[in-house]
Amino acid sequence: MDAWHVPTPSRIPGDGSAPLVAHDSATGSLQQIGPDAGTARFYVCGITPYDATHIGHANTYLTFDLLHRVWLDRGLQVHYVQNVTDVDDPLLERAERDGVDWRVLAREQIALFREDMTALNVLPPQQYPGATETIDEVVALIEKLRDLGTVYRVDDPEYPDYYFTTLDAPGHVALAGLDEQAALATFAERGGDPDRPGKRHPLDALVWRMARPGEPSWPSALGEGRPGWHIECSAIALDNLGTSFDVQGGGSDLIFPHHEMSAAHAHTVSGHPFARHWLHSGMVGLDGEKMSKSKGNLVFVSRLRHEGVDPAAIRLALLAHHYRDDWMWTYSGLRAAVDRLAMWREAVHNDTGLNADSTIAEIRAALRDDLDAPRALAAVDAWAGGSLAIDSDDTEGPGAMLEAVDALLGVDLRLGTSATTALDWQL
């Protein structure tokens, strides 16, 4: 399906060649992320289209937008793929609860997500496929895994679903490093079915679910059914990016089982590592708990936008936190971002301004150091404060900083782009 449109930023002057070092979840250490020349390839797990786009989602896609912008600043080509889980149990359950057609729910939520991503100035993926558009690729992948002896059918005469032998598969790597007890508990919490009778091992992952009455299904050589969740991302990434692409990304709630299982499917079938590195963003919460669809403690980007909050302020409120931290959304944080945005705008539109070169170099350095956005923001704060304080003709205009903040941080400092007020209801 179509993604959304945000223009690729123009290259800014100065030296952007330094590599990016970031925390790789697979090794637990800082690693160089991306090649030194050519094309950087990455896959980020997209939404399951209901309750979108909440601030936690936005934080995750913004994290990978920073990665994207650093790669572009290095002069690399970037190949970015994101999926949409447009058929899966949670989506079907929500559609059933609300008495709407699951396809209509998905379509509306994807449209809203596109609007939110555009407003937040998040650069789009080149491919944006849905699970429902990838059925043939999923089926072909499962058939190959079955030929390798790593997929079997559960012993259930009514619904002999297909499962992947996670722990025994040659391409399984313990990405999350969990012991079996912890893995079982997390698997059960995050959509797994450890207790399903007929499985060979409780951690085996569903790859093809046979059709049930009232559920969507597709005819296939495996029988009429629909894809499991993890195999969807393996198939979409392999099909569009090939093997051993630079990064698989998502929120830290996806490390296990989702990323470990997707990687195991793909590695087993190809004999090559799925991704070279895994990056994960922290979880955003509200009132002391992780923001999640199941708890319903959600703050929506679209609601804030409709209340008149400038999307650039939402972006700054998120960038004020390091991407790996877990943190709680607060309206005082949003207020601080609104104030910061106003100060930055005033500084870039001042007739005078400090030379921006060293600040731009510091933004670049901060982002290359494990995507340290708070450090980059502090550098711009210092520049803006200094620029507003001086009264001298011996200065430069605002152009360089305006372009750098747009290209590297994705924050639009042009005047009159949208409202920055209307927060009084919460503050």
The reply on whether position 233 binds Zn ion by CB under 5 A is yes
- State both tokens at 367: 């982002």
Q: What do you get for the CA distance between the two ends of the chain, in Å?
A: 39
Segment interacting with Zn ion, rule: CB under 5 A, options 41-49, 130-138, 171-179, 219-227: 41-49
CB atoms within 10 A of CB 47: 24
Phi/psi-derived region of residue 275, left when phi > 0, alpha when psi is between -120 and 50, beta in every other case: beta
Minimum distance between the CB of residue 134 and ligand 5CA, rounded to whole angstroms? 12
Closest alpha carbon to 330 in 289, 295, 298, 287: 287
Interacting partner of 253 out of Zn ion, ligand 5CA, none (Cβ under 5 to 8 A depending on kind) = ligand 5CA
For Zn ion, give the closer residue by CB, 45 or 337: 45
Under the binding rule (CB under 5 A), the answer on residue 231 touching Zn ion is no
| Distance from chain centroid for Cα 319 | 14
How far apart (Å, rounded) are the C-alpha atoms in residues 155 and 165? 14
CB of 71 to ligand 5CA, least distance (A): 19
**59 touches, from ligand 5CA, Zn ion, none (C-beta below 5 to 8 Å by class):** ligand 5CA
Residue 130: which of ligand 5CA, Zn ion, none does it interact with, CB under 5 to 8 A by kind?
A: none
Taking the C-alpha atoms of residue 66 and residue 49, their distance in angstroms, rounded to an integer, is 23
> How many residues at the interface with Zn ion, by CB under 5 A?
2
CA distance 56 to 47: 11
Cα–Cα dist 261/233, whole Å: 10
What are the start-end ranges of the E strands in 73-189? 77-82, 151-153, 162-164
**Dist. CA 197–CA 194, nearest whole Å:** 9
**Residue 24: which H helix or E strand, with range?**
strand 20-24
**Nearer to ligand 5CA among residue 25 and residue 60 (C-beta):** 60
Residue 290 binding: pick among Zn ion, ligand 5CA, none (C-beta 5-8 Å cut-off by kind): ligand 5CA
Four-CA torsion 128, 130, 133, 136, nearest 10 degrees: 100
Residue 126 Cβ vs ligand 5CA, minimum distance, rounded to whole Å: 18
228 binds, among Zn ion, ligand 5CA, none (CB under 5 to 8 A by kind): none
User: Can you say whether the dihedral through the CA atoms of 206, 211, 214, 219 is positive or negative?
Assistant: positive
The residue among 82 and 121 lying less far from ligand 5CA, judged by its C-beta, is 82
Nearer to ligand 5CA, 45 or 76 (CB): 45
Give the residue with the Cβ less far from ligand 5CA, 35 or 90. 90
Work out whether 45 is an interface residue with Zn ion (CB under 5 A): yes
Task: Between 131 and 409, name the residue whose CB sits nearer to ligand 5CA.
Answer: 131
Q: Which is nearer to ligand 5CA, 282 or 353 (CB)?
A: 282
Residues facing residue 289 across a β-bridge:
286
Q: How far is the CB of 254 from Zn ion (least distance, A)?
A: 6
Rounded to a whole number of angstroms, the minimum distance from the CB of residue 382 to ligand 5CA is 29
CB of 362 to ligand 5CA, least distance (A): 27
Q: Which residue, 57 or 368, has its beta carbon nearer to ligand 5CA?
A: 57
To ligand 5CA, the closest distance from the beta carbon of 414 in angstroms equals 29
In order of 15, 276, 315, 322, 427, the CA distances from 331 in angstroms are: 37, 38, 14, 18, 7
380 binds, among Zn ion, ligand 5CA, none (CB under 5 to 8 A by kind): none
Structure-block tokens of residue 135: 């059925």
Q: Could you count the other beta carbons within 10 Å of the beta carbon of residue 2?
A: 8
Q: Which residues bind ligand 5CA (CB under 6 A)?
A: 45-48, 56-57, 59-60, 83, 85, 233, 250-251, 253-254, 281, 283-284, 290-292
Give me the amino acid identity at 3: A
**How far apart (Å, rounded) are the C-alpha atoms in residues 259 and 356?**
41
Shortest distance, CB of residue 189 to ligand 5CA, whole angstroms?
13
Nearer to ligand 5CA, 284 or 347 (CB): 284
Give the footprint of Zn ion on this chain (CB under 5 A): 45, 233
